[in-house]
Amino acid sequence: MTPKIRRAVIAVAGFGTRFLPATKAQPKEMLAVVDKPIIQYVVEEMVDAGIEEIVLVTGQNKRSIEDHFDRSFELEYRLKEAHKLDLLEEVKRISNLAKFIYVRQKMPLGNGHALLCAKVVVDDEPFAFSYGDDIIEAKIPAIGQMIKVFEKYQGSVMGVMEVPREKISQFGVIKPQEIEKGVYKVLDTVEKPHPDDAPSNLASVGRYVFTPKIFEALEETKPGKGGEIWVADGVKNLCRNETVYACKLEGTYWNCGDKREFLKATINFALKNPEFGRDLRKYLRNRV
Do the beta carbons of residue 156 and residue 168 sit within 8 Å? no
In a domain, 204, yes or no: yes
CB 31 within 8 A of CB 38: yes
Q: Taking a C-beta distance cutoff of 8 angstroms, is the pair 176, 190 a contact? A: no
8 Å CB contact between 205 and 160: yes
Count of the separate structural domains present in the chain = 1
Supply the pLDDT for residue 240. 87
Q: Which residues pair with 178 in a beta bridge?
A: 184
Give pLDDT tens digits along the chain (288 positions): 567 899 999 999 887 788 889 888 889 999 999 999 999 999 999 999 999 999 999 987 788 999 999 999 999 999 999 999 999 999 999 999 999 999 998 887 888 999 999 999 987 899 999 999 999 999 999 999 999 999 999 999 999 999 988 888 888 899 999 999 999 999 988 888 888 888 999 999 999 999 999 999 999 988 877 788 888 889 989 988 889 999 999 999 999 988 999 999 999 999 999 999 999 999 998 877
In a domain, 90, yes or no: yes
DSSP 8-state class, residue 196 = G
Task: Determine the pLDDT at residue 245.
Answer: 97
Q: Distance between alpha carbon 78 and the CA centroid of its chain, in Å?
A: 33
Q: Is 85 helix (H, G, I), strand (E, B) or coil?
A: helix
DSSP state of 18: G
How far apart (Å, rounded) are the C-alpha atoms in residues 58 and 210?
A: 20
Residue 224 lies in a domain: yes
Read off the CATH number of the domain in which 133 is found.
3.90.550.10
Instruction: For residue 1, count CB atoms less than 10 angstroms from its CB and return exposed for 0-12, middle for 13-18, buried for 19 or more.
Output: exposed
Range of the domain at 174: 7-287
Assess if residue 108 is contained within a domain.
yes
Question: Could you tell me if residue 1 is inside a domain?
Answer: no
Residue 42 · residue 161 · CB < 8 Å:
no
Pairing of strands 99-104, 53-58: parallel
pTM above the 0.75 mark?
yes
Beta bridge partners of 168: none
Residue 2 in domain: no
